[in-house]
Amino acid sequence: MPVPPAADAPALVTLDVWGVAPRAVPGALARMALDRPALARTPGVRFAKLLGTGDGRTFTTRDADPLRWAVLVAWASAADAAAFESSTTVRAWRRLSRERLRVGMVPLTSRGRWGGREPFGPADARAARGHEGPVASITRARLRPLRAASFWRSVPPVSAELHRVPGLRCALGVGEAPLGFQGTFSLWESTDALREFAHRRAAHVDVADRTPVEGWYAEELFARFAVRSVKGTLDGRTP
């Protein structure tokens, strides 16, 4: 039986990833500006971010993918998320896009802050222990400018290792800006698969151990989710 989120966590978190053709890139850039106030006025939105994406292999501007954009929303209720499908924001992205992936999730654990907020609630060990099935992970960090170069040098070995781990269904780099605001979204077959990468793969363990010593981040967040639905495609397939 699915375990519900903690009382102070959102009822549902959605990530929409929109793929656009090259000719639609100017329109996508315009949506990134126009949709911010629209999302702020949308009923049931507790937290929302419009995100650029990349392959996450270096977390520099070389990774940026202008043909793929994302909208992350934490919802007060599943009904609010469903109503959003008829919004101006979704209709505009449908006109622009040639592909859409929509992932629906419920928070299991969350540690840290994003823009000074805890968007997914605090950690809920009970929910994490009770979940079986696919999981998703979101990480996000605001880099300290003087430590950014050191952080970027540490990324390629972790990225190379990530894509060799069994059980990974998809992974994206995400961020509010091309530099300094780094994040990842990854989708996994199981908690065990995610733990294999996070706690047993040498490159990732090395970076995790170095993080408090290096002081790379001015702000950081790590969250894990139970995946409730995966609809649409990414690169022509459903993860």
Name the β-bridge partners of 222.
111, 139
> Domains (ranges, CATH) in the chain?
12-230 (3.30.70.100)
Task: Taking each helix axis as running N to C, give the angle between helix 202-214 and helix 148-162, from 0 to 180 degrees, rounded to the nearest 10.
Answer: 160
Rounded mean pLDDT of the chain? 85
The single-letter code of the amino acid at 141 is A
Q: What is the pLDDT of residues 108-158, one digit of tens each?
A: 999 999 999 999 987 555 556 667 789 999 999 888 887 777 777 777 677
- The answer to whether residues 132 and 204 touch, using CB atoms and an 8 Å cutoff, is no
Best mean pLDDT range from 65-69, 70-74, 131-135: 70-74
User: What is the pLDDT, as a whole number, of residue 37?
Assistant: 93
Overall residue count recorded for the chain in this entry: 239
pLDDT of 1: 44
Rg for the chain, CA atoms, rounded? 17
Which residues, at least 6 apart from 6, have a Cβ–Cβ distance to it below 8 Å?
107, 121, 122, 124, 127
Percent of the chain with pLDDT over 90: 51
Quick one: CA dihedral 114, 221, 203, 217, positive or negative? positive
